Amino acid sequence: MHEVTAETIPLRVQDEVACSHCEVHCEKVVYPGACIRMACPFVYAYEAWGHTYMGCLQKVFAVEIDLELLESAESTRSGFGAVRARRAPLPMCEVEVVETYASREDEIGCRNPEFHELPRELANFRVFAVVAD
């Protein structure tokens, strides 16, 4: 196992899509089915070879997926699943951090807990107040 020092951890760890600062190795994944469900403005689609393929204009994920297969899988209980993020996810992306080798975790645990957090400028939310007379 390699030693983690201040020089080896990136300055903006929340923007990273993979972390290997310990033996566990974490990666951020996104759910393309969620992009379709919420009508993400960055989804594109095209027809080729008798199929319709979808992808992300922002290249949050790099793969292009057969739309019919995605919709078919999404209609099942387990859904289509996640794909590996290739760049920092956008605020509207459905994101999760997965541990590649969870069994390798030691007594110290995560050496880079900020990797699991959203970047401060992207962690937005709205507060709505209802005023009654």
Strand order from edge to edge, sheet including 43-48: 43-48, 51-56, 65-66
Residue 56, pLDDT above cutoff 90: yes
Rounded Cα gap, residues 19 and 49, in angstroms: 37
For residue 18, what are its two tokens? 């993979």
Find, among 92, 102, 89, 69, the residue nearest to 29 by Cα: 89
Q: What is the pLDDT of residue 16?
A: 66
Please state the length of the chain.
133
pLDDT more than 90, % of the chain: 14
124 CB-side CA count, 13 A:
7
pLDDT digits (tens, 9 = 90+) for 79-97: 888 888 888 888 888 888 8
Average pLDDT over the chain reads 76
pLDDT digits (tens, 9 = 90+) for 65-79: 899 998 988 888 888
59 pLDDT band, cuts 50/70/90, is very high
